């Protein structure tokens, strides 16, 4: 009861001009609730982090002693004239940041110390998505820098995805920290471009290996695998649906195990997977189909 009173008092002190961060995105119950702010930024921690925040020349910098894939920070940045897409500034490039746009501000979720900046990305010119039902989702994710085309003017909407490729997409979409992957003998930790992505998702139990020591990075992603990966990712960020999920209409429901049943129900309710009489769990998924699924999951979890 005492902690409840302290929490209410702290939120009240923030004032009506500051919106409290969403409570459904935490990885575990908070041990504390702190915040710090600059002129145009407020940084929240639910884990008692010591936070350092600064802004200069359009760059918003955040450092904390507690920030990880299981203990993220929430960053509220008021635009005040800034336009474009929020990105994370790295040494040689810029990486995507998971955030939702509230009009006058953005709410970002970061899983590591970060320098954030609004930029204007190049407009995509994917000729093969012009008549695709997935065009909107691909365009939105491409603008954020989450997905890339095979070439500047060709996305590959009907091509398939490998398990390594989807690990990169999910980690970048949720702006997770990469984690070294050492358990799989078919991944060269120091040489492969996807080792850190695989490590991040396996450490959260979002992706699993083909066996204990084999990941199968070049294996083609199936519909069932895509559903399990994104469903587990929603669990990892403690996503809670707004409404009770109704049973989905697939005729082969009795063939699903409990986990696939649960995540299929959730993703169907979110509009991430299309209706079909038979769900076809072993069918290989296309880049366009996964773009839609990823977009819906990010949107519903407050990260797009």
Q: What does the pLDDT look like over 163-173, one tens digit per residue?
A: 999 999 999 99
DSSP state of 206: S
Q: Is the confidence at residue 9, as pLDDT, over 70? A: no
Q: What is the mean pLDDT of the chain?
A: 86
Range name among 98-102, 194-198, 261-265 with the lowest pLDDT average: 261-265
- The C-alpha torsion from 131 through 141 and 278 to 242, rounded to 10°, is -130
286 pLDDT higher than 90: yes
CA 265 vs CA 160, 174, 187, 241, 284: distances in Å: 24, 22, 33, 11, 19
Q: How much is the pLDDT for 262? A: 86
SS3 sequence of 278-289: CCCCCCECEHHH
DSSP, collapsed to helix, strand or coil, labels residue 168 as helix
pLDDT classification of 42: cutoffs 50, 70, 90: very high
Q: Which pair of structure tokens corresponds to residue 122?
A: 């190049």
Lowest mean pLDDT among 29-43, 45-59, 287-301: 29-43
pTM: 0.86
Tell me the CA distances in angstroms from 99 to 64, 76, 195, 262, one per residue in order: 19, 9, 25, 26
Task: Please give the DSSP secondary-structure letter assigned to residue 222.
Answer: B
H or E element: which one contains 48? none
- For 53-57, 88-92, 126-130, 290-294, which range has the lowest pLDDT when averaged over its residues? 88-92
- What is the signed CA dihedral for 113, 115, 117, 120, rounded to 10 degrees? -90
Confidence check: pLDDT of 85 > 70: yes
Three-class SS of residue 160?
strand
What Cα–Cα distance (Å) separates residue 21 from each residue in 38, 44, 74, 140, 161?
16, 7, 7, 24, 34
184 vs 233: CA distance, rounded Å: 21
Q: In this predicted structure, what is the pLDDT of residue 240?
A: 83
pLDDT band at 250 (very low <50, low <70, confident <90, very high): low
Band (pLDDT 50/70/90 cuts) for residue 252 is low
């Amino acid at each position: 009861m005492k902690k409840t009173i302290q929490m209410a008092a702290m939120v009240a002190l923030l004032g009506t001009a500051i919106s409290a961060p969403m409570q459904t995105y935490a990885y575990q119950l908070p041990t504390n609730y702190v915040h710090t702010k600059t002129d145009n930024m407020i940084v929240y921690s639910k884990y008692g982090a010591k936070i350092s925040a600064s802004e200069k020349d359009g760059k918003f910098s955040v450092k904390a002693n507690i920030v990880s894939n299981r203990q993220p920070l929430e960053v509220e940045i008021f635009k005040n004239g800034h336009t474009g897409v929020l990105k994370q500034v790295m040494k040689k490039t810029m990486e995507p940041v998971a955030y939702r746009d509230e009009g006058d501000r953005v709410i970002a979720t970061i899983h590591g110390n970060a320098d954030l900046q609004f930029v204007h990305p190049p407009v995509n010119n994917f000729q093969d998505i012009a008549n695709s039902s997935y065009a909107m989702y691909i365009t939105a994710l491409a603008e954020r820098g989450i997905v890339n085309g095979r070439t500047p003017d060709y996305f590959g909407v009907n091509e398939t995805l490998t398990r390594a490729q989807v690990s990169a997409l999910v980690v970048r979409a949720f702006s997770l920290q990469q984690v070294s992957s050492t358990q799989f003998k078919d991944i060269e930790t120091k040489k492969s471009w996807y080792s850190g992505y695989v490590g991040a998702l396996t450490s959260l139990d979002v992706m699993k290996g083909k066996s204990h020591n084999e990941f199968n990075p070049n294996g083609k992603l199936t519909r069932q695998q895509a559903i399990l990966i994104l469903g587990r990712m929603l669990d990892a960020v403690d996503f809670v649906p707004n409404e009770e999920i109704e049973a989905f209409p697939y005729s082969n429901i009795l063939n699903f195990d409990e986990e696939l049943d649960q995540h299929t129900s959730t993703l169907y309710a979110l509009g991430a997977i299309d209706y079909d009489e038979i769900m076809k769990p072993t069918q290989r998924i296309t880049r366009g189909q996964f773009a839609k699924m990823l977009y819906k999951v990010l949107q519903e979890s407050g990260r797009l």
